[in-house]
């Protein structure tokens, strides 16, 4: 699994590649915390999931944890372009009712910039 | 009932083996040609959740063993994940959505497994480990277990 991050304004853009499970979730969590820690101005995370080939509830735990952290200050985590397998995990867990999930990167960016 | 094929593996309960287990079972399940790709994905997810639970909760060190077995009989795949660790005192509580003993986790493992398996059975008692058995039926319309039109 690889995690690429960049900051655009107040948004941390996270692109994850590979499989997200119990073994890889700690690295995913660390990559996010490494950026959030020294950058208190970050309000939201845009998580681009098009290159995630598998995710289980270990990945969900990291996503929900990040969402709660941002939500405490009025921000949120926004999910872009999940595969059908990843979307199913969001649906089965009920997290899709809590977190914004968009089918494409363009739709998610529109949410981020408020258009 | 004749079992057409089977596999049994034992390996340490460590995070690195979660992917190994789900990919191995997905490969075995693909012998049932009438499984759809979505059903194979479901099987991978159920196995991943079951193995993760064992790695996280069954042992206090990384020396514990997981026994993973699968059997194929016509269009039915049966997968068993067994450990020999601490066991579960209250299975119904463990199955409750969002119940977790780890604040970093969601506690949705059993909920996901129950949603995706056609049958799911959990056997456990304190000190006697946990045995999770799941059955998945291939619903590929109009095909036998070798993928032939019927």
pLDDT in tens, A53-70: 999 999 999 999 999 999
Domain boundaries A2-106, CATH class: alpha beta
Q: Which pLDDT score is estimated for B137?
A: 96
pLDDT (average), residues B126-142: 87
For residue A43, pLDDT beyond 90 = yes
Show the tokens assigned to B136: 């998945």
Give per-residue pLDDT as tens, B74-118.
899 999 999 999 988 777 877 777 667 666 666 788 899 999 999
Q: Would you kindly state where each structural domain of chain B is located, as residue ranges?
A: 5-137
Q: How confident is the model at residue A115 (pLDDT cuts 50, 70, 90)?
A: low
By percentage, how much of chain B surpasses pLDDT 70?
85
- Helix H, strand E, coil C: the string for A33-86 is HHHHCCCCCCCEEEEECCCEEEECHHHHHHHHHHHHHHHCCCCCEEEECCCHHH
For residue A71, what are the CA distances in angstroms to A2, A8, A67, A82? 25, 19, 6, 21
The whole-model pTM stands at 0.90
Q: Which pLDDT score is estimated for B148?
A: 61
Q: Is residue A19 classed as helix, strand or coil in its secondary structure?
A: strand
Q: Which pLDDT score is estimated for B88?
A: 87
Show the tokens assigned to A90: 């969001």
Length of chain B: 150
Q: Would you kindly state where each structural domain of chain A is located, as residue ranges?
A: 2-106
Q: Is residue A110 classed as helix, strand or coil in its secondary structure?
A: helix
Q: Is residue A32 classed as helix, strand or coil in its secondary structure?
A: helix
Q: Which pLDDT score is estimated for B104?
A: 66
Rounded to the nearest angstrom, the minimum Cα separation between B47 and chain A is 10
The architecture of the domain spanning B5-137 is: 2-Layer Sandwich (3.30)
Q: How many CB pairs under 8 A join A and B?
A: 65
Placement of tokens 């509830």 in the chain: A57
Neighbours of B70 (CB within 10 A): 22
pLDDT (average), residues B24-36: 96
Residue of B19, B105, B119, B148 marked active site: B105
Q: Which pLDDT score is estimated for B143?
A: 58
pLDDT (average), residues A8-21: 96
Q: How confident is the model at residue B66 (pLDDT cuts 50, 70, 90)?
A: very high
Give per-residue pLDDT as tens, A2-11.
999 999 999 9
Q: How far apart are CA A56 and CA B109, in angstroms?
A: 8
For residue A50, pLDDT beyond 80 = yes
For residue B140, pLDDT beyond 80 = no
Asked if residue A82 lies in contact with residue A93, where contact means CB atoms within 8 angstroms, the answer is no
A101 in reach of chain B (CB within 8 A): no
Q: Which pLDDT score is estimated for B144?
A: 58
Q: Which pLDDT score is estimated for B3?
A: 73
Q: How confident is the model at residue A112 (pLDDT cuts 50, 70, 90)?
A: confident
Backbone Cα Rg of chain A: 13
Asked if residue A52 lies in contact with residue A82, where contact means CB atoms within 8 angstroms, the answer is yes
Neighbours of A51 (CB within 10 A): 14
Tell me the pLDDT of chain B averaged across its residues: 89
Which residues from A are below 8 Å from B111, CB to CB? 92-93
b/e sequence B44-62, b meaning 16+ C-beta within 10 Å = bbbbbbbbbbbbbbbbeee
Per the annotation, the verdict on B67 as an active-site residue is no
B112: nearest CB among A19, A23, A93: A93
b/e sequence A66-93, b meaning 16+ C-beta within 10 Å = bbeebeeeebbbbbbbbbebbbbbbebb
For residue B70, pLDDT beyond 80 = yes
Which residues from B are below 8 Å from A23, CB to CB? 15-16, 18-19
């Amino acid at each position: 699994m690889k995690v690429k991050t960049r900051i655009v304004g107040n948004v941390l853009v996270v692109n994850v590649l590979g499989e997200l499970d119990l073994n890889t979730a700690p690295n995913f969590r660390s990559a996010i915390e490494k950026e959030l820690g020294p950058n208190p101005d970050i309000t939201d995370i845009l998580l681009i999931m098009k290159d995630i080939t598998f995710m289980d509830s270990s990945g969900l735990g990291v996503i929900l944890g990040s969402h709660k952290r941002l939500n405490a200050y009025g921000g949120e985590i926004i999910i872009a372009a999940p595969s059908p397998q990843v979307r199913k995990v969001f649906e089965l867990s009920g997290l899709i009712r809590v977190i914004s999930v968009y089918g494409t990167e363009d739709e998610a960016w529109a949410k981020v910039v408020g258009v | 009932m004749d079992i057409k094929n089977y596999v049994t593996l034992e390996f340490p309960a460590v995070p690195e083996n979660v992917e190994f287990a789900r990919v191995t079972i997905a490969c075995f399940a693909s012998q049932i040609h009438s499984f759809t790709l979505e059903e194979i994905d479901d099987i991978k997810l159920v196995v991943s959740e079951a193995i993760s639970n064992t790695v996280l909760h069954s042992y206090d060190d990384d020396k514990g063993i997981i026994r993973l077995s699968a059997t194929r009989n016509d269009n039915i795949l049966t997968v068993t994940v067994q450990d020999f660790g601490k066991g579960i005192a209250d299975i119904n509580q463990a199955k409750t959505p969002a119940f977790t003993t780890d604040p970093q986790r969601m506690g949705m493992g059993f909920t996901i497994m129950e949603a995706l398996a056609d049958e799911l059975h959990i056997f456990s008692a304190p000190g006697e480990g946990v045995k999770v058995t799941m059955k998945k039926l291939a619903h590929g319309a109009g095909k036998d277990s070798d993928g032939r039109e019927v």
